Amino acid sequence: MKFSIKRSEFLKSLADVQRAISSRTTIPILTGIKIQASEEGLTLTGSDSDISIEAFIPVEDEKNNLTIDQAGSIVLQARFFSEIVKKLPDEMMQIEVLDHFQTLITSANASFTVNGLDANNYPHLPVIDTQETFSLPINLFKQIIGQTVIAISTHESRPILTGVNMVIENGKLLAVATDSHRLSQRIIPLEVSSALADQKYNIIIPGKSLIELSRTLDERHENIEMMITENQVLFKTENMYFYSRLLEGYYPDTARLIPESAATEIVFNASSLLGSIERASLLSHEGKNNVVKISISPELVEISGNSPDVGNVKEELAYISVEGESIDLSFNPDYMKDALRTFGQTDIRIKFTSPVRPFILVPSEDNQNFIQLITPVRTF
Amino acid sequence: MKFSIKRSEFLKSLADVQRAISSRTTIPILTGIKIQASEEGLTLTGSDSDISIEAFIPVEDEKNNLTIDQAGSIVLQARFFSEIVKKLPDEMMQIEVLDHFQTLITSANASFTVNGLDANNYPHLPVIDTQETFSLPINLFKQIIGQTVIAISTHESRPILTGVNMVIENGKLLAVATDSHRLSQRIIPLEVSSALADQKYNIIIPGKSLIELSRTLDERHENIEMMITENQVLFKTENMYFYSRLLEGYYPDTARLIPESAATEIVFNASSLLGSIERASLLSHEGKNNVVKISISPELVEISGNSPDVGNVKEELAYISVEGESIDLSFNPDYMKDALRTFGQTDIRIKFTSPVRPFILVPSEDNQNFIQLITPVRTF
């Protein structure tokens, strides 16, 4: 294998592929990055066996300044390799595989010789044997990921809850995640070809995969293609394939958790409420009970927090409108902050049922398509 | 005590004073910040007993928007207090001490009540009983600090080497630091009043103090005043006092370590050599022997590094001029990188004596006032 390429372009693909590579893998060759050169271009592959990312750098795209002198393949230690490429002195770089998988990396006067591994020993990527493809707008899909992954569980005691449940049905994509204390749900319309219109898909994608996927998604592209098989999902953009395994099992029925009626409804600006919660939680983080209390009455809407050692805080909240019964309840401010951040600058409606039942946050203009749910903390 | 102040200005002084405060202190009250209000303004004090910083916020400076309603003092937990001040909602804030040292912090609708401590129990700052003052240009003094602290020892086995030795004599300030493997020395001219012209000062300032001092020094001010007593040094700017204890003992005689002659001299651009060293050290960091080798001959100047597990690197160096004998030697690339960074973009001359004797780096235009010295690593 021998090729030369513009270093900055090579680095971009390298950075994408490297997201899949973990230093804690139990399969030694997966700490490496696979480089494959063919007449058409270079293919870089990284994998931690849960996630695999493949990036393609085509010869025909002139900005890559890519010349393939000899086809072939090699696996190089990812950590060193990308450090080396970053620090090379020239705009161009060359890579050549010598005898015994020794690989020569050169740029201007600098030359590195590193020990490579036989690419034939690199695991094969999953085979995606389906023609059924969904097209998703990238900016909307990144939004959905950001809005739901906050609620995935970080504990392995119920592995299924470490994923996001995605259900495709009736021209809609529903994404939901819950760690059993809180829940995030977002629904978007989906353009589905008539051949797939009657199909239902119900999959659970590991939250970690979605977070990494979101980081690689370049908003310069408009759409991403999604292909689903029994235990894998593949996301395709122009020059990148992102594979993730799916979680096996049945996701709990979350629809019944969402209360349908409300005793108290109050409308806030999300970012102004976030500021107040951040202040109210400053001291509570210190104590054993990380809770903030909200009191809503026709006269006063107030939050308060306290730590016996440090002191207490209270703040009268500015709200847009309030309706219904007076209510006092306590909640984990970290859940509230995570939820509020997913709404950005918009106005939100919070609907309370009782001090011990979950309450929900929705955009003030839309009750249906985006819901954050939080279970209160009982303090009595 | 009761006052109101513009929050942004209060935060600036708070941040300065907080540099002195360590969470690991053994004296509980020193985890707090002392606030003292008088008719003239506010004095904030932080200390870890090695370093003490006092900042003054005058009433007369209108940008502070400071109103003192009642004089007094309090000690508040530094960590919480500054988090609270940062997160307050309004441009203005008020502080009022209530009964039992409870302190009320308010801003717009938010109010915090925190437990304070009696300021009478806060340790007294060192007394500086001297009228002898040196005036130092701030930008030059920051330079000296940056150029010398790289060579202080981080081991407590010889505490004296954790400091920078400063000698004032004959209208010059000499600063030198060494960890016994390398040495940094800088000399600057000093304007000394005729009363002090015959005096000699020889002090050792903890490197940690100088690093913190450098961070607080605002280059909007031109000069800093330095006052020296037997075991303390005080640095004064307009509204800040920075106290540091001095290290006790005798600093080793370092002048004899600096070689006077050279067998080989070579001139490089410092930043281009730094890039080459960074590449050459990429792999050596991995091995047990973190060394890089340089070979200088009339035909070729080359550096190389290797790690048995990963591979090797070599690079032909671009130099400006070379004189004298051919030489091969090995060095710790971390020392070389630290040293090269203190020269910025300038050209430097490296003077070698032998493969086992220390070599020095000096600005190519100045042999005397700035020297970085590094001891080679014996590899045979």
| pLDDT tens-digit series, residues B323-378 | 999 999 999 999 999 999 999 999 999 999 999 999 999 999 888 899 999 999 98
Sequential DSSP letters for B26-65: SSGGGGEEEEEE-SSEEEEEEE-SSEEEEEEEETT-GGG-
Please determine, for residue B288, whether its predicted confidence score (pLDDT) is greater than 80. no
CB-based contact A315 B114, cutoff 8 Å: no
CATH C-level class of B133-245: alpha beta
Considering only alpha carbons, which residue of chain A is nearest residue B283? A80
- Tokens 């707008």, residue? A137
Gap between the Cα atoms of A289 and A281, Å rounded? 11
ipTM: 0.87
Which residues does residue B32 pair with via DSSP β-bridges, in sequence order?
B77
For domain B259-374, give the CATH number: 3.70.10.10
Q: What integer pLDDT is reported at residue B230 of this predicted model?
A: 87
Asked if B196 has any chain A CB less than 8 Å from its own CB, the reply is no
CATH 3.10.150.10 residue window(s) in chain B: 2-121, 133-245
pLDDT 10s digits, B134-150? 999 999 999 999 999 99
Chain A residues with CB under 8 Å of B284 CB are none
CB-based contact A311 B112, cutoff 8 Å: yes
Considering only alpha carbons, which residue of chain B is nearest residue A108? B315
CB-based contact B110 A279, cutoff 8 Å: yes
CB-based contact A84 B282, cutoff 8 Å: yes
Q: How many CB atoms lie within 10 A of CB B167?
A: 17
Chain A residues with CB under 8 Å of B317 CB are 109
pLDDT 10s digits, A292-346? 999 999 889 999 998 888 899 999 999 999 999 999 999 999 999 999 999 999 9
- Residue from B74, B100, B104, B112 whose CB has the most chain A CBs within 10 Å, to mutate: B112
CB-based contact B278 A314, cutoff 8 Å: no
Gap between the Cα atoms of B118 and B121, Å rounded? 6
Gap between the Cα atoms of A66 and A42, Å rounded? 9
- Residue from A310, A314, A337 whose CB has the most chain B CBs within 10 Å, to mutate: A310
Q: How many CB atoms lie within 10 A of CB B170?
A: 12
Considering only alpha carbons, which residue of chain A is nearest residue B87? A279
Chain B residues with CB under 8 Å of A89 CB are 275-276, 279
CATH pick for B2-121 out of 2.40.50.140, 3.30.390.10, 3.10.150.10, 1.20.120.1200 = 3.10.150.10
Q: Which residues of B337-373 are buried (b: 16+ CB within 10 A; e: fewer)?
A: bbbbebbeeebbbbbbbeeeebbbbbbbeeeeebbbb
Please determine, for residue A3, whether its predicted confidence score (pLDDT) is greater than 70. yes
Does residue A47 contact residue A53 with C-beta atoms inside 8 Å? yes
Percent of chain A with pLDDT over 70: 99
- Which is nearest to A152 in space by CA: A173, A174, A183? A183
CATH 3.70.10.10 residue window(s) in chain B: 259-374
Q: How confident is the model at residue B380 (pLDDT cuts 50, 70, 90)?
A: low
CB-based contact A113 B89, cutoff 8 Å: no
Query: CB burial class (10 A; 0-12, 13-18, 19+) of residue B182?
Result: buried
- Residue from A87, A112, A316 whose CB has the most chain B CBs within 10 Å, to mutate: A112
- Which is nearest to A274 in space by CA: B6, B90, B8, B89? B89
- The alpha carbon of B201 is separated from its chain's Cα centroid by a whole number of angstroms, namely 20
In three-state secondary structure terms, B239 is coil
Q: What integer pLDDT is reported at residue A380 of this predicted model?
A: 64
Q: How confident is the model at residue B47 (pLDDT cuts 50, 70, 90)?
A: very high
Interface of A with B in 241-300 (CB under 8 A): 275-276, 278-279, 282-283, 286
